[in-house]
Amino acid sequence: MNIFLKRVYEPFDEADGCRVLVDRLWPRGVSKVEARLDFWVKDAAPSSGLRKWFGHKPELFDEFRSRYLDELRTNEPQIQAVKQIMDLAEKGMVTLLYGAKDPVHNHAVVLYEELERVISQQNNG
């Protein structure tokens, strides 16, 4: 899979390939110049209600994961956002950028998991 995860606060690297911000809100303290984005796919992020409910609390992550996967699979704008990222990945390296401090308990990890699942289904189907 040509998709990688990286905090938007980490330095730009040529190896990042296509840089895609997958947060609904612009990350604090990062200028558009510093971010060096190719795309901002807001609809890949969880709904505002789900994001606020989760609040980046690790103890809520399992339930958040389940609810967010449901959104990614049933909400048309999010389905289209996943397809957009998949299309980009078919053309080359894609780095999904996120602002969360926790590298394990965040929506980008769940989005990555869903992208892996979709790619696996396409390869096996």
What is the spatial distance between Cα 16 and Cα 39, in angstroms, rounded to a whole number? 13
What is the spatial distance between Cα 32 and Cα 55, in angstroms, rounded to a whole number? 25
| Interval 35-48: pLDDT, tens | 999 999 999 999 99
Predicted pLDDT at 122: 86
Mean pLDDT of 78-93: 96
Tokens of 30: 């990062």
Enter the pTM of the model.
Answer: 0.94
Domain boundaries, position 77: 3-124
To the nearest 10 degrees (0 to 180), the angle between helices 76-91 and 61-74 is: 90
- How many domains, in total, are found in the chain? 1
| Interval 4-40: pLDDT, tens | 999 999 999 999 999 999 999 999 999 999 999 999 9
